[in-house]
Amino acid sequence: MVMFTLDEAISSLEDGTYVVEMLHSLGSSHRQIEGFNPDTFWKIEEPFLLAVKETLGDRYTANMEYIYQKTIKFILETLIDGFRLID
């Protein structure tokens, strides 16, 4: 489910409204998990960046690293924002 969400968010970045709404909805759904700490979302960051680096191999340049760091940060911050939003 995590990888599906990341793929959906990244492949839909051209529709910023959709991505933000989708991530807010997913983030808010985690409020149903008793004791869930929204900072737990950050545990995805390092494995995601490592997977991108391994997948891209020689194509993983400093620019690509920067792009993916910004992308995952946006995704995780938006999930956290969704968790903290009051309906």
**Burial 10-30, CB ≥16 within 10 A → b, else e:** eeeeeeeeebeebbbebbbeb
Residue 76: per-residue pLDDT: 97
CATH topology of domain 2-84: Globin-like (1.10.490)
Per the prediction, the chain carries an average pLDDT of 95
12-20: average pLDDT: 96
60-69: average pLDDT: 97
Predicted TM-score of the model (pTM): 0.91
60 vs 54: CA distance, rounded Å: 8
Residue 87: per-residue pLDDT: 63
Distances (CA, A) of 82 to 11, 29, 66, 77, 86: 20, 8, 24, 9, 8
The pLDDT tens digits of the residues spanning 42-55 come to: 999 999 999 999 99
10-39: average pLDDT: 96
